[in-house]
Every structure is written in structure tokens, then in C-alpha cells.
């Protein structure tokens, strides 16, 4: 089938399917970050956890002096013993923050459709890897795999495998339960993975701690609310030049942390601030830069694409470091380890860190991306097939959460890395009259009217 026809058929199958998650959400989802919702877990386990992590940090600060915000964030989120994601990872209505895949099944379905659409547009390679960075509860991948399963005739000859990059033992357990029903093998001998299993739909799934451990090959890399969880450095312009913001013990209040400025420049101020910088406060996430470099190298060499979805800006914002606990804003220096810490993603930095190895698309607002992917049609089909008022209301409420400009529609963005040849034919320069235009990339252009 011609790629365009194949894409139309695909669209009709996925958007028109009556399929609902096996575990439909009956409760209207809590609001996304930030909001005034409430949950119970953090209160129950808060104080002792806070003490353990805070004690650990106080010992460290007394021994070696102030630490960078990046070091503080890394400890608070992913310390192997006490980190927020390691021990708690409170994603969902009963946790600290809710994410789009948890709000609506349609989100993951449309991203599944995006991957298949790109796979078709690049000539249906014989195999592809679905690689998710920071999969949370595994819901996004689960919804995507359901879409793949609905397309047996399209994918029958394609060898699909799933690769999850996750540092949190607690969340990887939840992912295993969501995706395989809990039937997994730890430390398999044949792989660099720390766990493996078979999805409910029959696909092999592997877990890794680092993107470098994922085997090379044509892959779709997904990062939903992943980059915002990576440690940032914070800088402030002073009369004496750029200084790094550090975390120290407050000498006035026992066991309390405070921000201080480095007395002189640090290696980070030398390396991460651009000479042409005009802002007075800047946040930089070098770990995100390294991961994007790795993704760009892989996509340049083996093909595929990366789709990043997160809240963020294009190099304009200054102070976005914040904490969330029980769906409320939480002071970043209070009770570390009990709250999610996050900073907006700087898409201009990610673009720069591809070093021209791939083309980039976006950032484009979530509501535009999902509209281009056909969310309205999908909603109509689900509404027509929903028998009860509660489901009806839940579908409309979750659509509003994802699409409303005042909720998640405008502040979340989609950004893609694609091989250059996906956007410009290599021979275009020499044969500008060349027919057969390249297919537009779904989501970044309207899928339905192509
Ligand atoms: N994508 C999910 C979860 C977002 S929360 C969703 O949208 O619902 C961030 C996720 O990234 C968690 O799964 C967390 O454990 C994981 N994570 C955080 N830092 C990480 C790191 N350095 N390497 C791998 N995973 C990480």
C-alpha cells in the first residue's frame, strides 16, 4: 500500500476503535501540576523520610560544604536509598502530580499512532525498538502497545521490542505489573538489562538504568515528563560576573537549608553560560544535553525518531525550579525526598545539543500536536461508545485537562528529533524538480488532510 493510503487506513483503524483501557478510570482525574487537589500518601510517610534524607544531606554539607542545585536535585530525586523516585515516585491521582498518560488513554494511543506513522513514512523497516525514558507507571507504553496490538496486519512482519530506561526500583516494579502482569525475570544473563519480561500483548520488554545500555537499532525514543526531572544548575548574574546558586545549611535555623551564591565563578559558570546570554538568572541541565547528544547520534546512525513531551520554553525563562507534593506547590528546600522536584525544559538547549546530527521539529503546544493527531475524532468515537454518564463525563473532563490552554494545552510542548533525510531529500539540492514529496511529520502537521 502507498504510504499515504497506509496512513489513512491506520488512522481509521486506531481512531475509530471502540477499545478502552481494561481498567477505565472512573474518577475524574485530579488537576495536573500545580493544583489544589489533595492526596494522603505523603502525609503518612513524610516526616521520617524527610528526616532521613535531610540528615544525609546535612552530614554531606557539613563535611564538604555547599553543593550545586544539580547535586541537591539528584540526591533528592534519585539517591539509591532515600530518593523521591527511588522510594516514592508519586505519580497519579493519589500521588503528588498527575501526567497526561495517566489522565487519558487517548494520549498514549495518539503517540502510538505517531510512531507507526513515522515507521510507515520511513519505509516500514523490518524491526523497531520502542524506547521510553522515565516510564513512570508504564501507562504510556501500555496504551501504545494496545494500539500496536490493534494493527496486526500492519505490523505482522515487523519485529517490535520494548526498552524502558528507569532508575527507580519501585517504579520499575509498577511498570512490570502494568505491562506484563508482574511476570518478569531479574538480571537476565543474556542482556545488559536488569529485568526482562513479555508484554500482555506478547512483545519482549527490557529494563535498563541508562540509555547507553539500550541496544543500537532503528528506534522510537519517547521522553514524557522525563527531562524536567533531570538535575539543573542555576546561575545568577552579579556585578562581579556570573555566580552559581548553591545549597547550604542555614546558620540561623537548625536543620534548615538555604540558597547561597558561589563566592567566585565555578567550572559550571565557565562552561554553561553563553557569552551572548541576556538573562540575569539561567537554568542549565547538562544531563539533558548529554542524553540528547546520545539520542541524536543513535538516530543519525540507525534511524528512527525521538519525541520529547514536557513543559518548557525556548531559552527565555529564568526561574522555574519548583517542588510538588500532594498536587500542591512545595518549597524545594523543605523535606527533600518527599516531593517531586522539577524545572522547565529548555528546548533551545536540547536543539543546540543535537549538534546538527538530526533535524528537530517543535516545540509545538500540546493542544496543537494532539489536535493534529486527531484527538477530536478519537474523543467522538469513545463518547459514542460509552454507555454511562460517568464515563462520558470522565472523557470530557480528561479531554479538557489535556487540551485547555489554561490547563495542560499550552504549557506542555512536543519536540522531535528526526534524521535529516526525513525532512529533506538528500538529492533535493541536485534535483529540485524531484516529484513524490516527503510525507509531513504527523502531529507537527495535520495528519488527516495530507
Ligand atoms: N513518563 C511518566 C513519568 C514521569 S516522572 C509519565 O509521564 O507519567 C519521571 C520518570 O523519570 C520517573 O519514572 C522517574 O523514576 C524517571 N527518572 C528520573 N530520573 C531518571 C534518570 N536519571 N534516569 C532514568 N529515569 C529517571
Choosing from 85, 290, 307 the residue with most ligand 1 atoms within 8 A of its CB, the one to mutate for a pocket test is 85
Choosing from 134, 172, 323 the residue with most ligand 1 atoms within 8 A of its CB, the one to mutate for a pocket test is 134
Atom number in ligand 1 closest to CA 86: 15
Assign 433 a pLDDT band (cuts: 50, 70, 90): low
pLDDT tens per residue across span 317-343: 999 999 999 999 999 999 999 999 999
pLDDT tens per residue across span 170-205: 999 999 999 999 889 998 886 799 999 999 999 999
Instruction: Answer whether 132 contacts ligand 1 (Cβ < 6 A).
Output: no
Check if the beta carbon of residue 62 is closer than 8 Å to that of residue 351. no
Instruction: Answer whether 229 contacts ligand 1 (Cβ < 6 A).
Output: yes
How far, rounded to the nearest angstrom, does the alpha carbon of residue 191 sit from its chain's CA centroid?
25
Residue 361 β-bridge partners? 416
Angle between helices 41-64 and 69-78 (to 10 degrees): 140
Instruction: Answer whether 235 contacts ligand 1 (Cβ < 6 A).
Output: no
Radius of gyration of the chain (CA): 22
Atom number in ligand 1 closest to CA 78: 19
Domains annotated on the chain, with CATH:
78-229+285-312+361-422 (3.40.50.150)
Q: 224 C-alpha vs ligand 1 centroid, how far in Å?
A: 8
Task: Decide if pLDDT at 438 tops 90.
Answer: no
Q: 211 C-alpha vs ligand 1 centroid, how far in Å?
A: 12
Assign 71 a pLDDT band (cuts: 50, 70, 90): very high
Q: 166 C-alpha vs ligand 1 centroid, how far in Å?
A: 6
Task: Decide if pLDDT at 143 tops 80.
Answer: yes
Residue nearest ligand 1's atom 16 by CA: 134
Assign 26 a pLDDT band (cuts: 50, 70, 90): very low
With 0-12 / 13-18 / 19 or more C-beta atoms within 10 angstroms meaning exposed / middle / buried, residue 317 is middle
pLDDT tens per residue across span 298-320: 999 999 999 999 999 999 999 99
Check if the beta carbon of residue 176 is closer than 8 Å to that of residue 137. no
| Beta pairing class for 127-133 and 219-224 | parallel
Task: Decide if pLDDT at 46 tops 50.
Answer: no
Residue nearest ligand 1's atom 11 by CA: 134
How many other C-beta atoms are found inside a 10 Å radius of the C-beta of residue 194?
16
Instruction: Answer whether 78 contacts ligand 1 (Cβ < 6 A).
Output: yes
Cα-Cα end-to-end distance for the chain: 16
Q: 223 C-alpha vs ligand 1 centroid, how far in Å?
A: 9
Judge if pTM exceeds 0.85: yes
Instruction: Answer whether 167 contacts ligand 1 (Cβ < 6 A).
Output: yes
Instruction: Answer whether 135 contacts ligand 1 (Cβ < 6 A).
Output: yes
What is the rounded average pLDDT of the residues 257-281?
94
Cell representation of residue 438: 516527503
Q: 163 C-alpha vs ligand 1 centroid, how far in Å?
A: 14
pLDDT confidence of residue 429: 58
Instruction: Answer whether 102 contacts ligand 1 (Cβ < 6 A).
Output: yes
Choosing from 167, 211, 401 the residue with most ligand 1 atoms within 8 A of its CB, the one to mutate for a pocket test is 167
pLDDT tens per residue across span 83-114: 999 987 788 888 888 999 999 999 999 999 99
What is the rounded average pLDDT of the residues 122-142?
97
pLDDT tens per residue across span 186-195: 988 867 999 9
Instruction: Answer whether 328 contacts ligand 1 (Cβ < 6 A).
Output: no
How far, rounded to the nearest angstrom, does the alpha carbon of residue 185 sit from its chain's CA centroid?
26
Return the closest-CA partner of residue 162 out of 178, 142, 147, 136: 142
Task: Decide if pLDDT at 13 tops 90.
Answer: no
Q: 51 C-alpha vs ligand 1 centroid, how far in Å?
A: 24
Q: 303 C-alpha vs ligand 1 centroid, how far in Å?
A: 24
pLDDT confidence of residue 31: 52
Q: pLDDT: is 20 or 345 the higher one?
A: 345
Q: To which residue does cell 508519586 refer?
A: 90
Q: 85 C-alpha vs ligand 1 centroid, how far in Å?
A: 8
pLDDT confidence of residue 91: 85
Check if the beta carbon of residue 185 is closer than 8 Å to that of residue 205. no
What is the rounded average pLDDT of the residues 274-280?
94
Cis peptide before 363 (omega within 30 of 0): yes
Q: What is the DSSP string of 124-188?
A: --SEEEEEEES-TTSHHHHHHHHHHHT-HHHHTT-EEEEEEE---HHHHHHHHHHHHTT-EEES-
Range name among 47-51, 208-212, 353-357, 445-449 with the lowest pLDDT average:
47-51
pLDDT confidence of residue 37: 33
Dihedrals φ, ψ of 38, to 5°? Answer: -145, 145
Amino acid at each position: 500500500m502507498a504510504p499515504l493510503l497506509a496512513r489513512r487506513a491506520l488512522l481509521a483503524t486506531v481512531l475509530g476503535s471502540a477499545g478502552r483501557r481494561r481498567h477505565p478510570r472512573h474518577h475524574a482525574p485530579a488537576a495536573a501540576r500545580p493544583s489544589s487537589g489533595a492526596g494522603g500518601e505523603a502525609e503518612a510517610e513524610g516526616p521520617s523520610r524527610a528526616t532521613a534524607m535531610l540528615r544525609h544531606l546535612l552530614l554531606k554539607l557539613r563535611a564538604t560544604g555547599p553543593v550545586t542545585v544539580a547535586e541537591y536535585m539528584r540526591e533528592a530525586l534519585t539517591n539509591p536509598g532515600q530518593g523521591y523516585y527511588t522510594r516514592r515516585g508519586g505519580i497519579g491521582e493519589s500521588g503528588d502530580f498527575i501526567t497526561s498518560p495517566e489522565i487519558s488513554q487517548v494520549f498514549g494511543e495518539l503517540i502510538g499512532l505517531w510512531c507507526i506513522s513515522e515507521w510507515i513514512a520511513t519505509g516500514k523497516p523490518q524491526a523497531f525498538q520502542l524506547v521510553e525514558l522515565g516510564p513512570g507507571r508504564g501507562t504510556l507504553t501500555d496504551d501504545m502497545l494496545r494500539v500496536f496490538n490493534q494493527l496486526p496486519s500492519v505490523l505482522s512482519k515487523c519485529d517490535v521490542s520494548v526498552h524502558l530506561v528507569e532508575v527507580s526500583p519501585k517504579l520499575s516494579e509498577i511498570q512490570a505489573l502494568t505491562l506484563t502482569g508482574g511476570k518478569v525475570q531479574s538480571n537476565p544473563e543474556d542482556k545488559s538489562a536488569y529485568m526482562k519480561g513479555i508484554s500482555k500483548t506478547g512483545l519482549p520488554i527490557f529494563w535498563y538504568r541508562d540509555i547507553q545500555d539500550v541496544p543500537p537499532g532503528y528506534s522510537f525514543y519517547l521522553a514524557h515528563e522525563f527531562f524536567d526531572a533531570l538535575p539543573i544548575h542555576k546561575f545568577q548574574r552579579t556585578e562581579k560576573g556570573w555566580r552559581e546558586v548553591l545549597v547550604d545549611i542555614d546558620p540561623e535555623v537548625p536543620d534548615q537549608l538555604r540558597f547561597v551564591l558561589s563566592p567566585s565563578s565555578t567550572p559550571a559558570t565557565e562552561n554553561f553560560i553563553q557569552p551572548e546570554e541576556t538573562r540575569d538568572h539561567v537554568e542549565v541541565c547538562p544531563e539533558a544535553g548529554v542524553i540528547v547528544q546520545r539520542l541524536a547520534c543513535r538516530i543519525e546512525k540507525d534511524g528512527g525518531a525521538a519525541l520529547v513531551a514536557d513543559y518548557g520554553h525556548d531559552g527565555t525563562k529564568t526561574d522555574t525550579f519548583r517542588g510538588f507534593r500532594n498536587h500542591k506547590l512545595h518549597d524545594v528546600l523543605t523535606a527533600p525526598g518527599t516531593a517531586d522536584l522539577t524545572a522547565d525544559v529548555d528546548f533551545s538547549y536540547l536543539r543546540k545539543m543535537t549538534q546538527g546530527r538530526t533535524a528537530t521539529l517543535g516545540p509545538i503546544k500540546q493542544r496543537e500536536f494532539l489536535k493534529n493527531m486527531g484527538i477530536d475524532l478519537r474523543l467522538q468515537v469513545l463518547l459514542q461508545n460509552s454507555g454511562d454518564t460517568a464515563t462520558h463525563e470522565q472523557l470530557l473532563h480528561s479531554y479538557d485537562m489535556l487540551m485547555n490552554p489554561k490547563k495542560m494545552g499550552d504549557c506542555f510542548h512536543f519536540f522531535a528529533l528526526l534524521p535529516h533525510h526525513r525532512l529533506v531529500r538528500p538529492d533535493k539540492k541536485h534535483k529540485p524538480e524531484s516529484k513524490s514529496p516527503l510525507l509531513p511529520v504527523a502531529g507537527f502537521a495535520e495528519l488527516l488532510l495530507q
